[in-house]
Structure 1
Amino acid sequence: MTEGALVTEVPFELPKGYVDAEGTLHRSGTMRLATAADEIYPLRDPRVQSWPAYLIVVLLARVVTRLGSLREVNAGVVEGLFSEDLAHLQDLYNRINGLTPHLFAVVCPHCGETHEVEVPLLGG
C-alpha cells in the first residue's frame, strides 16, 4: 500500500458473534467508511421514520460489507446481533468515520493531577 493511502475498509472481530439459522457462529468481518448517501438514505426508510432508533440497524447493514461466511449483511442480520456486538459495531463506525470526540490527557495547573478531557468535534 502507498504511504498516505486512504484506508476505506476496516476488519473487525465481534466480541460474541452472530449465530445464523444453521447455528454457525460468524465473528470476523469488514466495515467500510460511510458515504454521505449511507447517512442520508436511511432517513427515508419507513422503518426509521416510524422508529428513529432503527437508524443504526439500517446504517450498519449498509456499511458492514462482510460478516463471516454470510452471503449478505442486511437489517435482519444486524437485528440478530447480541447487544454487545451491536455496541461494538457502533463504536467502530464512530471511530473510523471520525465521529468520536477526541480525548486528551491534561495536567491540572493547580493540583498537578492528570485528567482526560474530551474535546468536541467542530460543529458538535
Structure 2
Amino acid sequence: MTFGLFLSATDKKPMYLQIVEQITSKVLIGDWPADMALPSIRELAAATQVSVITVKRAYLELERACVIVTQAGRGSYVSTRADLKQELKQQEFVQQLDLALDLAKQLQLSDEQILDAVQQQLNKDA
C-alpha cells in the first residue's frame, strides 16, 4: 500500500519533498481530512520504498508548515487548524507567482510589462 503517494526516482525533486508536496496536496483537496491519522514513519517508508530518514524529514517539514501535528505515543495527524486550507492555497499562489515571475525574467519583461499583463488578466476576468 502506498497511501496514494507516487514517488519517482527520476523526478529532480528529492524524495522527501515529493512526500511533502503530495501530502500537502491531499490535505488541500480534502482527500486527507483534519485529524486523520497518517501512516507511521516506518509504514510510509516501507510502502514507498524510501528510507525512514527520508520520511522523517518529510514529516518534520510538514510539521513546520503546520500541515500535520505529531503527538508522542499517538502518531501524526492532519492538523485541525481552521485556516489550514486557506493558508495552503495562499502558499500555492505564492509558488505559482514565483514561477510566473521567473518566466517573466527569462522573457526579459520589465516590471511595467509584468504589471500590465497582470492588470489585463484582472480586467479580462472582471
Whether the TM-score (by the shorter chain) exceeds 0.5 is: no
Which has the larger strand fraction?
1
TM-score of the superposition, structure 2-length normalised?
Answer: 0.29
Which has the larger helix fraction?
2
TM-score of the superposition, structure 1-length normalised?
Answer: 0.29
